[in-house]
Structure 1
């Protein structure tokens, strides 16, 4: 048996699979985000550990014999979070999350610290990355900065709690702006630019490698007498790609979760920093990927649900399953700033084209359209990087909305495939990586594409209307980017 654990922003998810990759059981536990100031986003690392224990023990109650037979565990996690611990491994402050925008000024500090740093990294430092967060802590919380023993990513803090070992995988480490992505090792030049040292970094592993075993006390608490190995795992999107077999050149996925991601696997390092395309290591050896990120995808729909005091599923259900055209209103989903392709931490969202006739259905439609346009903006950025995307596989909570998938397929102009295992996303991919680490199996043979449950095709009758509305959408950011900038 093999266990995958996915540490997201809104929940911890677990999936238990057998040796034939059949899903035996799943469980989840919710998480909350703290926003103490505008643009800030934090979580308590110990809340992840508590939720992790709830998930594993829930699975244990559901399938005690299966849990007792677990031999390998894989980890998937939200990327970029700055989890700072002292020399004893105790958290020094709440984790600064991937969608925290406070360190936008520190990005320039890093660029100015070392000549040629963007070319060296193949990426531009963004406020969401880990490195600028540490520069911010050094400036504003110097006493905490002085105590930093290790700077860990969220899932890697859990790894430490599970195994007592400090480790990270290549895909997650790529999002720190401390990794030499092309050569898959920590970069002294990048670390120096943010005042960090290699001894403050965890040991690097491929996602398919074992990073240690559960400690005896954790194994006993979880009812796992075999003390399973813990795989390197992956950043959430790389793990999701492993879950759907997107490990070959140009294999693509669209992830519709709290954030939105377009992910394309590459057989070599292909940077395109000018369009804010992330060029990272994949979670499997000798493989890389390009990724464009929307900071507020399903989070935008949840925002609207909060404003209208109506659950998000009820809002989308009220629209039905057919689309007759684009919404007359336009929504720019930059609620937390935006990552790709504008790289602007200060800009905020816009809802325009409102009239007396604009009701909750029209607002919901505008939000769904706006997010599809944001995916298209990133889709075009990937095309500019020389990537050819003929179809995408969809994963994440947003795939539960049939209407949203139809809009996305139409706006992107490509088929959207839904895998049979799409509901577990990164957790399933993590479980697969746990299987590989425990058995030594060839990852090419394990990380195959699952069966496609169904395919959503673009609506040819609506292509022209959506293309025209997308062109209007593209005019919004250039027109408002300087408004309200501090």
Structure 2
């Protein structure tokens, strides 16, 4: 039974396909969780759109259900944290939706993170060679809001003029909760070319022809009101928002500065003690990387020192822990890649029926087949099944460390086998390709001065034991799974907890306090050794060579590319 005097926190996470909410106690334990699906519009190739009204309604439904299931009094909720995908929201001067869609339908006013319509604009921005590119790995990605804004300005000028406020999705959520259009330093730095301590680069945006936004003091981008992660916004939760969220009695609850969903995963994991009683200090953070792996994958490393790494986003100052710099690597698709590989295989239908008959997920079924086949062949380790199949996972371009959105996925070792045995080999090779992609990011960070030896995982792929063990084996790192698998929601709750105590300690101490208190280790996975380690080193070398070959092929054929 809930103690009415206990302080609770609410974490709200907006992912690609659903909005989720959790009631979390001060020890990081989730009391109740609920989710509600989101609508996605896919009008053209590379175009992915959503509705901010639909997103807010889904948040309200999820929060209401989570609070109802928990049985807690809403008045016990002292802080609320939001996180969301890095998607661009267009609003008019009354905060109503403005269409960003070729259809002109105002419902679709969000350009999703995975949308690549702004590739031309991203290439143009990258070609400027401007100093802001130092913090974006040398290039602007079409997944960044900066490129999407330039696309809107160029391709839909009437919509751009109507969009009096352009926000990152996490900041839209805090706007709805507080009525303040305050911007979060986290998303501004990562996706908008904003720099902590310096602000906007006026000459960069002027060079792109967007003099109006510069002359207006970037009011269209939310102006200059910027808060750090967990810093309280406005007067807290408004009466209207409390009513919509089903939080009657929680009016005035602190709402903290929001973050991109991957960073919520970092907040919910990297403060955990990997061994109880070790007296974790901030210095330990330098050896840790948060890996948030779901539809896409983000890799977040912290350092007190500024280090530029080619192809890796950052370093961003103060966007998570104050006085720390963040480097962010990423893969544009992870869970989505595995789904694509298995569902397009001829044996998928047979495997799916067998999985359903055994009340298993398709991944649990395939993992069991891998174990069975390895035992039948008396293999010393499972990964030998993939000895002759090699995959690069960049079916949606490479975010890091190559920073090449034009590169594609590759598969070596195809044959005419349509059996389930071939399916598990392709699936397993796909898992390993994602893990080698993470190793490539880690290698780039190490060359840049980062000393990483421990991975902290969150996201949907933590449910896949094959993926978790493979990540440890491929990267040679101790890999830690949180006690609460929904660590992104715990991280969102950390924001709410931080907001509830902001001002009682210095800002770094209060955020770190809640990261340590609410981050909880569930399982520690050690990497392989011996012959298996040698196998992964060799397979990784093949992985890297496949990129070299693909670039050579692209150069050979370049004169025919339109």
TM-score where L is the length of structure 1: 0.92
Question: Is 2:398 the counterpart of 1:338?
Answer: yes
Matched, 1:85 2:69: no
- In the alignment, which residue of structure 2 is the partner of 1:154? 169
Matches within 5 A, 1:337-486: 337-357=397-417, 359-421=422-484, 423-440=485-502, 442-448=510-516, 450-460=519-529, 461-481=531-551, 482=554, 486=562
Given the superposition, is the C-alpha separation of residues 472 and 33 from structure 1 closer, same or farther in structure 2, using an over 3 Å criterion?
farther
Q: How much does 1:75 deviate? A: 0.9
Name the CA shift for 1:32/1:462 in 2 (closer, same or farther; >3 Å).
farther
Distance 1:334 1:305 in 2: 16
Against the structure 1 CA distance between its residues 74 and 189, is the aligned structure 2 distance closer, same or farther, given a 3 Å change threshold? farther
Structure 1 counterpart of 2:62 = 55
Q: Residue 185 of structure 1 aligns to a residue in which SS?
A: coil
Whole-Å Cα distance in 2 between the matches of residues 347 and 173 of structure 1? 27
1:238 aligned onto 2:263: yes
Equivalent residue of 1:339, what SS?
coil
CA distance in 2: counterparts of 1:229 and 1:191, whole angstroms = 34
Preserved contact between residue 101 and residue 336 of structure 1 (Cα < 8 Å): no
Aligned-partner SS, 2:233: strand
Please tell me the root mean square deviation across aligned C-alpha atoms, in Å: 2.4
Structure 2 contact 255–496 (Cα < 8 Å) conserved: yes
Corresponding residue pairs, total: 482
Q: Indicate whether 1:29 and 2:36 are aligned.
A: yes
Q: Residues 249-287 of structure 1, C-alpha deviation per residue, up to 9 Å, x if partnerless? A: 343122211111221112243222x22343234323222
Question: What pairs with 1:71-470 in structure 2 (closer than 5 Å)?
Answer: 71-79=78-86, 81-93=87-99, 94=108, 95-112=110-127, 115-119=130-134, 124-181=139-196, 183=197, 185-194=199-208, 195=210, 196-197=213-214, 198-202=218-222, 203-212=225-234, 213-221=236-244, 222-227=246-251, 228-246=253-271, 248-272=285-309, 274-281=310-317, 282-307=319-344, 308-309=348-349, 310=352, 312-313=362-363, 314-320=365-371, 323-325=382-384, 327=386, 328-357=388-417, 359-421=422-484, 423-440=485-502, 442-448=510-516, 450-460=519-529, 461-470=531-540
In structure 2, C-alpha distance between the alignment counterparts of 1:245 and 1:357, rounded to whole Å: 43
Rounded to whole Å, the distance in 1 between the matches of 2:185 and 2:127 is 26
Q: Verify the 8 A CA contact 1:114 1:189 in the aligned structure 2.
A: no
In 2 relative to 1, CA 390–47 (structure 1 residues): closer, same or farther, beyond 3 Å? same
Note if contact 1:207-1:232 (Cα within 8 Å) is conserved in structure 2. Answer: yes
Q: CA deviation at 1:72?
A: 1.0
Distance 1:121 1:342, change over 3 A: closer
Cα distance in 2 between the residues matched to 1:346 and 1:407: 27
Q: Distance in 1 between matches of 2:207 and 2:148?
A: 12
Calculate the TM-score normalised by the size of structure 2: 0.80
Q: Is the 8 A contact 2:91 2:98 kept in 1?
A: yes
Going from structure 1 to structure 2, the CA distance change for 1:284 and 1:123 (only over 3 Å counts) comes to farther
Give per-residue Cα distances to partners, 1:293-336, cap 9 Å, x unaligned: 00011111122343235464344443349724261212221122
Structure 2 residue runs of 5 or longer lacking an equivalent are: 1-7, 100-107, 272-281, 353-360, 373-380, 505-509
SS at 1:180 equivalent: coil
Confirm or deny: 8 A CA contact 2:455 2:477 kept in the other structure.
Answer: yes
Distance in 2 separating the partners of 1:122 and 1:357: 41
C-alpha distance after superposition, 1:368-402 (max 9, x if no partner): 11111111111111112111101111111101111
Point out the structure with max Rg over C-alpha.
2
Distance 1:21 1:121, change over 3 A: closer
Q: Distance in 2 between matches of 1:156 and 1:397?
A: 24
* C-alpha separation in 1, matches of 2:453 and 2:543: 23
- Separation in structure 2 between the aligned mates of residue 72 and residue 134 of structure 1, nearest angstrom: 32
CA contact (8 A) 2:330 2:399 kept: yes
Give 5+ residue unaligned stretches, structure 1: none
Contact 1:325 1:466 survives alignment (8 Å) = no
